[in-house]
Chains A and B, each alone.
Chain A
Amino acid sequence: MSFMQIKDLCVHYPIRGGFFNTVVDQVYAVDGITMEFDKGKTYGLVGESGCGKSTTGKAIIGLERITSGSIIYEGEEVTNQRRKRNSAYNRDVQMIFQDSHSSMNPRKRVSDILAEPIRNFTNMTPDEERRRINELLAIVGMPEDAKHKYPHEFSGGQRQRLGIARAVACNPKLIIADEPVSALDLSVQAQVLNFMQDIQDEYGLSYLFISHDLGVVKHMCDDIAIMYRGRFVERGTSKEIYADPRHIYTHRLLSAIPNIEPETRLERKVERLQVEKDYKDKQHNYYDENGKVHPLQPITDTHFVAMLNAEGGN
């Protein structure tokens, strides 16, 4: 049973102009997406830059105003509600940011950074708080004396791990991870991804994993949604998306990923050019006249694709 549902979420930004600075148009950053979150699963949100994936994450946690649609958390409507600082939703949904450097206050020590969510959401005595902070540092594999340091004293991977520690401080149910590893080197990236999986196994967290890297998403996620121009073009389990992509945009994304097999690169290039050509020729089958993505149609119980007639369209 899912603990959280998102229905027809839209985030539109007005474009103002003209003489009276009136609203002349809208940017449809997120334009009607529907998702459900189950306990202990990882959901991938993939797309190219500007497709609205980060906006979706921010809208869910409440950093962006939702234009229409609703978010229901454990049966309760939480869309654009004025929430108390220590409401259950604020505690249970946390975020890991892409840039760990700018998401931490440079003038606070690690102990204060990690204590902030604890002080906001729980009533711990200073002693318990100290113990919890040590525990958190141990979870992400950092030495205890790290808590006396400032964020700039750590490397990128270490800082990202502190970001994770802060996010898990109050045992959340859902963590929104907005490109958590895209600024990291390969070996450090592996480290952070492993930590995220360990923590998930231990606490039964769910992740919304936002990324443009299809390799990482495949490694981490159970369910994947491909996003384009603010809408989902395809949604399904990891297996369905990678083994049986139906939408032409998914094809295009998958064929563009570099593979570490130099022997087959010529074949892949031929395939890529073919897909690219198909993409140009058959676009009208997949988008309406305004370039808008069609509504999702079910193919199987878990696999949805945005086409007019899902059966014959492939």
Chain B
Amino acid sequence: MSGANELLEIKNLSTSFRIKDDFFPAVDDVSLTLKKNEILAIVGESGCGKSTLATSIVGLHNPNNTKVTGEINYKGKNLVTMTDEQFNNVRGADIGFIFQDPLSALNPLMKIEQQIEESLIYHTKLAKAERQARVLQLLEQVGIPNPPRVAQQFPHQLSGGMRQRVMIAIALACKPPIIIADEPTTALDVTIQAQILDLLKELQAETESGIILITHDLGVVAEVADRVAVMYAGQVIEEAPVVELFRNPKHPYTRSLLNSIPQMNSEGDKLNVIHGIVPSLKNLPRTGCRFSPRIPWIDRATHEDNPTLHEVAPDHFVRCTCWKTFHFEDEGGSVQ
């Protein structure tokens, strides 16, 4: 734990959903830290728990059918044990959240100005005129042309890229030190995506905030992230600085994923396919390496009984020991 630069510390966080009378962990014992002025990317396929992790950090789960355990330490306070009233002071002011789908996250009946103003009213003591000035300033900051006009419009009057910019403006309104962006560019075209990612990076450099970027797109990760955590079946299976992860991926899952991207510079070759399917919450094996059913040609003995994260290089963590002997199925070696 390296002192002052740390913004947020997630320790042994588990989030379980209730199915009938049992709780099934969608996020299972995840520990991560977010430092100041860095973009931490969390990557994984659908159902790996990355969005659940994000919503757990800002406490958006219904306590009746979810159970959140572990610690999320922010400024010496544990967010997990906070009451709703206490949490409301954190959300918006200290943690900004950018949702994936801006059309369903924005209120269709409120003007853009009111929606951005909302968190200013709640968290600051600015007067009305000051708030309106801040709204215009924010809209300008996120690159919206003609802010005074857009401020008086409704969400449906804006294009997808513009709506996403409004979402970012809302998240930034109170200058939070932490921003969580849940698939901020998934619904956008590539040219707009590039603009939004550039914008996020610029704003972050200005405010020195820490960003947790949730995405399934490894291209996006390579463009903006500083550090990457790869998740599979609720666990972090590999964590490394971005260059290290793309140059020396260790875990079989990370390597398989990287191999299944249709590359711009390779043609015609067969893409790598991962055996089987992502296990559902209910049928997840709770012991042993969770990836082992999908690499059946690897000797069972190379997996750990109870896989933990090992530091294999400075700041590079890999779960389980199976990566040491892992090879792709068609690469030869002893097929089990």
Instruction: Give A residues with C-beta under 8 Å from B.
Output: 48-49, 155, 157, 185-187, 189-191, 193-194, 197, 212-216, 218-220, 238, 242, 252-253, 255-263, 265, 268-269, 272-273
Q: Are B198 and A269 in contact (CB under 8 A)?
A: yes
With A218-B264, A253-B191: A260-B219 Cβ-Cβ less than 8 Å: yes
B216 interface contact, C-beta 8 A: yes
Q: Are A272 and B256 in contact (CB under 8 A)?
A: no
Chain A residues near B273: list those with CB within 8 A: 187, 190-191, 194
Q: Are A242 and B264 in contact (CB under 8 A)?
A: yes
Chain A residues near B198: list those with CB within 8 A: 269, 272-273
Give Cα A257–Cα B278 distance, bound, in whole angstroms. Answer: 27
Q: Taking chain A's interface residues, is the majority helix, strand, or loop, or is none over half, making it mixed?
A: helix
Give Cα A260–Cα B223 distance, bound, in whole angstroms. Answer: 7
With A187-B256, A258-B217: A215-B264 Cβ-Cβ less than 8 Å: yes
Chain A residues near B223: list those with CB within 8 A: 258-259, 262, 265, 268
14 A–B pairs (Cβ distance < 8 Å), ordered by A: A48-B191, A187-B272, A187-B273, A190-B273, A194-B273, A215-B219, A256-B193, A258-B217, A258-B219, A260-B218, A260-B261, A265-B223, A265-B224, A269-B198
Give Cα A238–Cα B193 distance, bound, in whole angstroms. Answer: 23
With A193-B262, A256-B193, A265-B222: A186-B246 Cβ-Cβ less than 8 Å: no
B271 interface contact, C-beta 8 A: yes
Q: Are B222 and A262 in contact (CB under 8 A)?
A: yes
With A219-B271, A260-B218: A252-B191 Cβ-Cβ less than 8 Å: yes
Give Cα A175–Cα B160 distance, bound, in whole angstroms. Answer: 30
Give Cα A190–Cα B194 distance, bound, in whole angstroms. Answer: 24
Chain B residues near A187: list those with CB within 8 A: 45, 256-257, 260, 272-274
Option from A49, A157, A219, A255 in Cβ contact (under 8 Å) with B267: A219
Q: Are A218 and B257 in contact (CB under 8 A)?
A: no
Q: Are A260 and B258 in contact (CB under 8 A)?
A: yes
Least CB distance from B253 to A in Å reads: 9
B107 interface contact, C-beta 8 A: no
Give Cα A265–Cα B198 distance, bound, in whole angstroms. Answer: 11
Q: 10 shortest A-B CB distances, which residue pairs?
A: A258-B219, A219-B262, A190-B271, A190-B260, A187-B274, A185-B45, A256-B194, A48-B189, A256-B190, A256-B191
Q: Are A238 and B271 in contact (CB under 8 A)?
A: no
Give Cα A60–Cα B143 distance, bound, in whole angstroms. Answer: 39
Name the residue on A nearest B188 (C-beta): A49
Least CB distance from B273 to A in Å reads: 5
Least CB distance from B247 to A in Å reads: 8
B309 interface contact, C-beta 8 A: no
Chain B residues near A263: list those with CB within 8 A: 243
B220 interface contact, C-beta 8 A: yes
Chain A residues near B260: list those with CB within 8 A: 186-187, 189-190
Least CB distance from A46 to B in Å reads: 10
Q: Are A190 and B191 in contact (CB under 8 A)?
A: no
With A185-B46, A190-B260, A219-B262: A261-B267 Cβ-Cβ less than 8 Å: no
With A218-B262, A219-B263, A263-B243: A186-B222 Cβ-Cβ less than 8 Å: no
Give Cα A157–Cα B277 distance, bound, in whole angstroms. Answer: 9
Chain B residues near A260: list those with CB within 8 A: 218-219, 222, 246, 258, 261, 263
B125 interface contact, C-beta 8 A: no
Give Cα A265–Cα B258 distance, bound, in whole angstroms. Answer: 17
Give Cα A194–Cα B270 distance, bound, in whole angstroms. Answer: 6
Within 8 A of A (CB), among B259-287: 260-264, 266-268, 270-274, 277-278
Chain A residues near B13: list those with CB within 8 A: none
Q: Are B264 and A238 in contact (CB under 8 A)?
A: no
Q: Are A261 and B222 in contact (CB under 8 A)?
A: yes
Name the residue on B nearest A264 (C-beta): B222
Give Cα A265–Cα B194 distance, bound, in whole angstroms. Answer: 12
Give Cα A238–Cα B263 distance, bound, in whole angstroms. Answer: 13
Least CB distance from B167 to A in Å reads: 18
- Greatest chain B CB density within 10 A among A193, A255, A258 is at A258
Chain A residues near B170: list those with CB within 8 A: none
Chain B residues near A238: list those with CB within 8 A: 267
Give Cα A273–Cα B199 distance, bound, in whole angstroms. Answer: 12
Give Cα A272–Cα B223 distance, bound, in whole angstroms. Answer: 12
Q: Are A49 and B261 in contact (CB under 8 A)?
A: no
Chain B residues near A157: list those with CB within 8 A: 277
Least CB distance from B227 to A in Å reads: 11
B229 interface contact, C-beta 8 A: no
Least CB distance from B136 to A in Å reads: 24
Chain B residues near A253: list those with CB within 8 A: 190-191
Chain B residues near A215: list those with CB within 8 A: 219, 261-264
- Greatest chain B CB density within 10 A among A185, A186, A215 is at A186
Q: Are A186 and B267 in contact (CB under 8 A)?
A: no
Name the residue on B nearest A191 (C-beta): B273
Q: Are B194 and A186 in contact (CB under 8 A)?
A: no
B242 interface contact, C-beta 8 A: yes
Give Cα A49–Cα B188 distance, bound, in whole angstroms. Answer: 9
Q: Are A259 and B264 in contact (CB under 8 A)?
A: yes
Least CB distance from B293 to A in Å reads: 14
Give Cα A238–Cα B220 distance, bound, in whole angstroms. Answer: 24
With A218-B262, A219-B267: A262-B193 Cβ-Cβ less than 8 Å: no
Option from B190, B216, B270 in Cβ contact (under 8 Å) with A257: B190
